[in-house]
Structure 1
């Protein structure tokens, strides 16, 4: 790369598209954007597919997301915005009319983005959505960086190592996978500034009432607040009890325990990416190294994260995994 090209690349703008991965720590997409661009646009697009209330839904909320899930998401977005602001940036919240990919493509064009960074997502809806965006980016000469950071491993790599098919037992998955990569935990005190956003309406993270949930916003509020800050706090509090971590055995937990849960209650934080699975895994390993003995997978605490990756890999590598018809690993019941 000559000096002129290098200068142009450095001065270019990057867009970080948040979907899951709602965190600053161990965020390879955010890290790549800040390293490669003079201006960085952190963006989250409100998706009506999940956020539009539906009175006919079987539980309060939309047809695809209950009110508790939507509340947790909004709390996570507010926390992410606060953490970005401490780094001299902010979360740019856009609202899609129908298709999220249309909103992202419009922002790429209007803000003259030269690099798009987002965490890879293996779910069918996300794959179709992301292909529309990456096709637009390719046609527009926009570089795309989409690292795997929602899971411990890259499901595609596991399937390739296993001869082109997903491991269908936990034991074969663990044997194939090996040790997870280390998290990207470099500390930094600031992010590049946001560039000009033109005439875009940049929304604050909305409240439940503003999304049309009305009285549902005042229904029972669970004690588990969304966001990276709460996720890291809960993880550290759980790992402080090294004896509990070392002796953790999933089948022996009490599923009815509520005020003092028998597990870490970190699942929702992992689902939304408020907590990095890789960071959590390696923090557990640090505890194991400080104890004489500890439980082993599949029942150990680290083993639960491996279960999570196992099912992500099987679902990614099995067409029609979410249904009976056309699913070759599902018993066909006529």
Structure 2
């Protein structure tokens, strides 16, 4: 008996039903041709060693939610363990795949993977449809509109997309036909239970500040969009990097995992702003979304975007390799309480405020420790719930003054910056509990506390909490001189190239 042909939708960073044109294409094709529909997620068996615990938990919750939402429309999620380039060709044979849909991405690893899969599809006469649906704008179109060049400033990017009409989002609510269900539909093979061996108990999955999934992402979006005045008054620099509860929406993890459509967020913001006085980019909520679009465009058009060497946008800076500094920073043991509180929050919760990211990124690189931004980017990739290849690289280059931002002499103070919004150090007391009994006058600079005060607080500096790793007042001035030398060399090299 001949096996029924099938249509495969390959979920990657589109873990949702709403605004998923590639999925709708797959459903339509399956129904029109009376093929079996197989929505599929390919899970790298080595994922536990590649993704931090918070991100992995968020992914598991998102996949569970995706399966539940697919079942509401009479479908299900197939989870396949393996490397995509190995297991997809096997599925093509096993399921007699004739049509595959997926979304476009710009992560170099995914781009290379797609090239291999696309070649296999050509050989097997499988029709492939790829959709741009992880961003508001098609970054390739934006680059073409700029003669193939990367817009190097945020304002230039905004001018390029100013006249672009953003298409409406779509909804998938119609029940999938019974004819599109295969004989294995009710089988436990390749079902969501395959996630159970990733090392989490149900208690682990239930205990988290930001649970993953489309359902939660839409709920969070709708909650904030009802706060119209708050949305219209929002200005990022006026939010607090060290508030105990987030002073921003924390929608970024849902957008980065594809649980929430960035295009839907765009349209909702436009609805709220319509007819009301509101803040504007770059500081508005819409402005924050446009930063994401800017970095996606830059990442799509720049070779080696996540590296210093071979990256045409990136200033070549002679960073020092210092494993001791890097480890102390990553673990929140620098001796600077504000920096350590931020890094501990990141490790515990998987999220920190954008301005807090500015603080610790500057501290690791040009501000204090003179460690390469590439090293910091790897730590963020591990810890951040909202890790995104292009944003991570772009922001690290910006904060290390390697690209986009060149005022390297403007350095964040690990003492003064936090005091602006939290003089009492409540944030530090929460995430660096060793210091919770310190008087407010010493909470940002505990090394200045008299020994008697340290003893009374139950925390001796150098014993119960680290001594500061460097003297900020001294090293940041030295580092400015090093940055100046790197910029001077860059300018000289440009002049030499022009003369040639």
Q: Same fold (TM over 0.5)?
A: yes
Shift of 1:195: 2.5
Of stretches 187-196 and 32-41 in structure 1, the one that deviates more from structure 2 is 187-196
Alignment CA distance shift 1:180-1:152 (3 Å) = farther
User: In the alignment, which of 39, 43, 52 is matched to residue 40 of structure 2?
Assistant: 43
2:191 matched to 1:203? Answer: yes
2:235 matched to 1:238? Answer: no
Of stretches 195-204 and 219-228 in structure 1, the one that deviates more from structure 2 is 195-204
Q: How many residues align?
A: 307
The match for 2:266 is 281
Shift of 1:164: 0.7
The match for 2:73 is 87
Q: Which stretches in structure 1 are left out of the alignment for 5+ residues? A: 1-10, 53-61
Distance in 1 (CA, whole Å) between partners of 2:200 and 2:222 is 35
2:213 matched to 1:227? Answer: yes
Shift of 1:255: 1.6
The match for 2:61 is 75
Native 8 Å contact 1:173 1:310 kept in 2: yes
Native 8 Å contact 1:249 1:300 kept in 2: yes
The match for 2:24 is 31
Native 8 Å contact 1:111 1:197 kept in 2: no
Alignment CA distance shift 1:73-1:215 (3 Å) = closer
Deviations 1:154-177 (A, max 9, x none): 111111110111111100111112
Distance in 2 (CA, whole Å) between partners of 1:299 and 1:257 is 19
Distance in 2 (CA, whole Å) between partners of 1:107 and 1:250 is 46
The match for 2:181 is 194
Distance in 2 (CA, whole Å) between partners of 1:318 and 1:332 is 15
Native 8 Å contact 1:113 1:142 kept in 2: yes
Q: Highest relative contact order (Cα 8 Å, sep 6+), 1 or 2? A: 1
2:150 matched to 1:166? Answer: yes
Shift of 1:299: 0.8
Distance in 2 (CA, whole Å) between partners of 1:234 and 1:200 is 32
Alignment CA distance shift 1:216-1:328 (3 Å) = farther
Distance in 2 (CA, whole Å) between partners of 1:306 and 1:288 is 15
Alignment CA distance shift 1:168-1:131 (3 Å) = same
Deviations 1:9-56 (A, max 9, x none): xx952100001100000001111111112321000011134x13xxxx
User: In the alignment, which of 290, 299, 308 is matched to residue 324 of structure 1?
Assistant: 308
The match for 2:243 is 257
Alignment CA distance shift 1:277-1:83 (3 Å) = same
Native 8 Å contact 2:151 2:157 kept in 1: yes
Of stretches 214-223 and 121-130 in structure 1, the one that deviates more from structure 2 is 214-223
The match for 2:293 is 309
Task: Find the residue that maps to 1:146 and give its secondary structure.
Answer: strand
Q: Give the TM-score of the pair, scaled to structure 1.
A: 0.86
Native 8 Å contact 1:23 1:275 kept in 2: yes
Distance in 2 (CA, whole Å) between partners of 1:183 and 1:145 is 20
Distance in 1 (CA, whole Å) between partners of 2:113 and 2:169 is 26
2:135 matched to 1:142? Answer: no
Distance in 2 (CA, whole Å) between partners of 1:114 and 1:129 is 19
Alignment CA distance shift 1:258-1:222 (3 Å) = farther
Alignment CA distance shift 1:33-1:218 (3 Å) = closer
Distance in 2 (CA, whole Å) between partners of 1:16 and 1:168 is 35
Task: Find the residue that maps to 2:192 and give its secondary structure.
Answer: coil
Q: Which stretches in structure 2 are left out of the alignment for 5+ residues? A: 319-500
Distance in 2 (CA, whole Å) between partners of 1:318 and 1:164 is 10
Native 8 Å contact 2:235 2:285 kept in 1: yes
Distance in 1 (CA, whole Å) between partners of 2:250 and 2:121 is 38
**Greater share of residues in helix:** 2
Distance in 2 (CA, whole Å) between partners of 1:121 and 1:150 is 8
Distance in 1 (CA, whole Å) between partners of 2:202 and 2:222 is 32
The match for 2:89 is 105
Distance in 2 (CA, whole Å) between partners of 1:324 and 1:277 is 29
